Structure 1
Amino acid sequence: MSDTSGISAAGAVYRHVKDRVLTGDLEGGRMVSEGEVSSTLGVSRTPVREAFLRLEVEGWLRLFPKRGALVLPVAPHEIDEVLDARALLESHAAADVVTRPDDLAALVDALDAAIEAQRTSHEAGDLPGYTEADAEFHRLVAESGRNSLLAGFYRTLRERQQRMTADSVRGRTAAAATVLDEHRVLRDLLAAGDVAGFGRGLVEHLDHTHRPHSHGGTR
């Protein structure tokens, strides 16, 4: 990577490190050094330092002088808040879209495509692709409602959602397969216009995926 522009180099470093955090390649609790990133990307330490500062402001890293940056784990209260918000927004959108048969049919087709992309990524062992398809499935539901303000708010949760999914299914092949099965069930409930069933299934799905210990699950 060329280091001819401090701004563009810092932006590229920021995107690289953030993507690794979101996909779980850089797990919560891991230390990452400026030198490591500088060497990997072929840039000086200055843009790396700038990118680290930006990521610290956003809450992804905590900087320690002369030691590097700690990737902050997802806090339990953050998990609860994100899941509560997602359940409310997706259920609200589902109640709206089922009143519009043509839009519902289009949504179901799009959900089928997202499920297929997630299945393909799962079979290939592609965790970033898997989490991206997972986020896309839920985004499609959330944005199927006609409230643009709620849809906009939901988009702000996407990055945290993707990271939480990576944390939840990493190294848990059975859990990753269960997520796919539950997506198929949610798709079928929507296709049938069962809003109440979808709402219940969604809450159970989010709990199973991100709060496995509350259901006796193990990592």
Structure 2
Amino acid sequence: MTERPGPPTAPSPSAAERAYRHTKAKILSGEVPGGRLLSEGDVAAELGISRTPVHEAFLRLDAERLLAVAPRRGAAVLPMAPDEARDVLEMREAIELSTARRALAHGSPPSAVLDALRANVATQREAATGGDVDAFVAADGAFHALLVAASRNQTAVQLYDLLRDKQHRLRAQLLHVGPEEVASSLADHEAMLAAVEHGDADALCELVHTHVRRHRGIL
């Protein structure tokens, strides 16, 4: 009997892609703060690869305005300027407010959406209780993305996705200020979930506005 071949496996990322993902994750999480110099040799040693793919990764991050590569001097992590942070929050609020009204135009969304939001908030509570800020940041971003997706406005979803990296970096920066910021964000999300469950678009929009305004106040 001839055995059927199994499903194809995904190709392993190239060395340059590994270096790109590794370095980008450190920048977005705030592990490597703005202004810090990065060495191609250090990253190569961490990953057990040569410097050539790391250099390729650095150039890619330079094009994304996360690094400033200087010949023979390594690369410096570019900090997020206050104006850029305000711009990100402004666009985020505009998208979330418009999609909130559309998502709740006919009352509370389908049960699958509610189940996903409830599960996400449970993950947030667990991360907050355990003091895992990085896990909370990830769940925070997923929560807001779920709300936007609930609108079924694909243009809004695509625009929101374009802000994903900047939002993640900004969230990490804001939520690492102190445990009180995590607690405040969790409380906001619990209130937003309640508004969604009740199909109250006005309440949800007011909560989104207050939530983003609080973040602006930290900048």
Normalised to the residue count of structure 1, the TM-score between the two structures is 0.87
Q: Which 5+ residue runs of structure 1 have no aligned equivalent?
A: 1-6, 214-219
8 Å CA contact retained: 1:118, 1:133: yes
In structure 1, the residue matched to 2:198 is: 192
Alignment partners' CA distance in 1, 2:109 and 2:185: 25
Match of 1:68 among 71, 74, 90: 74
Q: Which 5+ residue runs of structure 2 have no aligned equivalent?
A: 1-12
8 Å CA contact retained: 1:96, 1:145: yes
8 Å CA contact retained: 2:67, 2:75: yes
Report the Cα offset of residue 138 of structure 1: 0.3
| 2:115 counterpart of 1:103 | no
Report the Cα offset of residue 210 of structure 1: 4.4
Equivalenced residues, count: 207
Larger Rg belongs to: 2
Change (3 A) 1:35 1:210: farther
Alignment partners' CA distance in 2, 1:78 and 1:38: 31
In structure 2, the residue matched to 1:140 is: 146
Normalised to the residue count of structure 2, the TM-score between the two structures is 0.87
| 2:59 counterpart of 1:56 | no
8 Å CA contact retained: 2:109, 2:196: no
Alignment partners' CA distance in 2, 1:15 and 1:201: 34
Moved more, 164-173 or 50-59: 164-173
SS at 1:137's partner residue?
helix
- Residues 93-124 of structure 1: CA distance to partner in whole angstroms, max 9, x if unpaired? 21112134463543332211111112222333
| 2:112 counterpart of 1:82 | no
8 Å CA contact retained: 1:111, 1:140: yes
In structure 2, the residue matched to 1:115 is: 121
8 Å CA contact retained: 1:32, 1:68: yes
8 Å CA contact retained: 1:111, 1:137: yes
In structure 1, the residue matched to 2:160 is: 154
Alignment partners' CA distance in 2, 1:29 and 1:203: 31
The amino acid across from 1:198 in the alignment is L
The amino acid across from 2:35 in the alignment is G
Change (3 A) 1:21 1:9: same
Alignment partners' CA distance in 2, 1:210 and 1:121: 23
Runs of 4+ in 1 over 6 A off after TM superposition: none
Q: Percent identity?
A: 36
